Amino acid sequence: MTRFSSFAQTLKASDIAALLALTEQPEVISFAGGLPAPELFPIEEMKKVDEAIYNEEGRKAVQYGTTEGYVPLREEICRRMKDKFFVDCKPDDVVVTTGSQQALFILSQILVDKDQMILMESPSYMGAIMAFNPVGPKYTEVPTDDKGIVPEELEKILAADDTIRMIYVIPEFQNPTGITWPVERRRAFMDIINKYDVIVLEDDPYGEIRYDIEKLPSLKSMDTQNKVVFLGSFSKIFMPGLRLGWIVANPEIIDKFVKFKQAVDLGTSTFGQRQAAYYCRMYDMEAHIQKITALYAKRRDLMYQSMETYFPEGITFTYPQGGLFTWVTLPEQLDATELMPKCLAKNVAYVPGNIFYPNGGHRNHFRLNYSNMPEERIVEGIKRLGDVLKEALAK
């Protein structure tokens, strides 16, 4: 028997992990994942990208690099921050991360101590909860409506507890709900934030995957006090296997972040960073994102229409204007985790909603992903889910 640290002892096999493992069998139509559609990965282009990297930079491209990241990629990120998120920043404000996941992990490590409070939307991204847990924080879920965090509720919570260090939010096409905060809501949020001594993590991996909504200003673009850390990702617009994300933050946070990242992995793959930078230089990233957006919009529509057709009365679901997910709310008496075996018996799957709540509960929800599913399987899968739901409601 190996003795483990106190935190490691809490890392146990979970029932939900066992259920989710079952969703990966090939016969299952699984809406449980969060994968981008691989058919759009620019493989032919990447052959030329890699060749150009080896020809132009050769050995430097695979030697140790700096912890902050490859400067031309950070320059490209600054251009994208300006064009896409209305944020003015310079390469020194940017650190390239080994995926957004690493940014979530490190930020919680440098900002929060054990037993301190982290605020999150209710519900919020389960991967962030997983990233924050090693710190041993407490979580307060800020009540959230169909426009995002409710400002009055946020203010009540902040006013009552001055130990709160960090607020984690996903204002665009939220995971899991698909909800986007309107501009007024963003302004109201920042007005409150500016009154308190807290840091905001603005996680925006889906912001460029938008269907029928204009670009909205990011929280970071409204951040007059340098309290917002913006988290970006190449996983959804490019290729997740390269593990490339970034943060934009104030100089103090950048300094601590870099020192901590050095302890964690020294730096992100120097070759992978060049793959993203060279692709942006050699090809039209915007055209690529438009292709992704067009495909996902079609799938979003098809999933929505199928739910309208096949889901019984009394079940509601969001109409995401971007991103990868929709969120289904069942009548209170139904438990999405309990329904999972019935779904799996029909070879269809989702993620039960309760795991998106850091303090548990809320068992009458589930999350559906539509980005990585051929159209005919979307219709068939939703039909099967509808059958399970009808049967459950008939009881």
- 224 near its own copies (CB under 8 A): no
How far, in Å, CA of 189 to CA of 125, rounded? 19
- Answer for which of 72, 89, 196, 269 binds its own copies (CB under 8 A) is 269
Is residue 54 at the binding interface for its own copies, with CB under 8 A as the rule?
A: yes
Out of 56, 252, 284, 338, the only residue in the binding site for its own copies (CB under 8 A) is 252
**d(Cα 292, Cα 39) in Å, to the nearest integer?**
10
User: Least Å distance between CB 67 and its own copies?
Assistant: 10
CA distance 181 to 194: 18
| Nearest CB to its own copies, comparing residues 105 and 311 | 105
197 binds its own copies (CB under 8 A): yes
CB of 68 to its own copies, least distance (A): 13
CA 289: distance to chain centroid?
17
Helix (H, G, I), strand (E, B) or coil at 137: coil
Among 144, 275, 321, 354, binds its own copies (CB under 8 A): 275
Q: Which of 16, 22, 46, 302 binds its own copies (CB under 8 A)?
A: 46
Cβ contact 196:158 at 8 Å = yes
Distance CA 222, CA 228 (A): 9
Report the residue from 19, 96, 110, 336 that binds its own copies according to the rule CB under 8 A. 110
**Which 315-334 positions form the footprint of its own copies (CB under 8 A)?**
none
- Asked if 50 is part of the footprint of its own copies (rule: CB under 8 A), the reply reads yes
* Binders of its own copies in range 153-172 (CB under 8 A): 165
Size of the site for its own copies (CB under 8 A): 74
Nearest residue to 187 (alpha-carbon basis) of 141, 144, 218: 218
Beta strands in the chain (DSSP E): 29-30, 94-97, 117-121, 138-142, 144-145, 148-149, 166-169, 199-203, 228-233, 245-248, 316-317, 325-329, 348-349, 351-352, 365-369
89 near its own copies (CB under 8 A): no
Our finding on whether 233 is near its own copies (CB under 8 A) is: no
Is 385 a binding residue for its own copies by CB under 8 A? The answer is no
Q: Which of 62, 78, 101, 93 is nearest to 269 (CA)?
A: 62
Residue 58 binding its own copies, by CB under 8 A: yes
- Residues 298/303/307/309 CA torsion (nearest 10 deg): 50
Q: How far is the CB of 55 from its own copies (least distance, A)?
A: 8
Taking the complex as a whole, the smallest distance from the CB of residue 210 to its own copies amounts, in Å, to: 22
Q: Which stretch binds its own copies (CB under 8 A): 249-257, 291-299, 332-340, 380-388?
A: 249-257
From 390, 207, 259, 364, select the one nearest 312 (Cα to Cα). Answer: 390
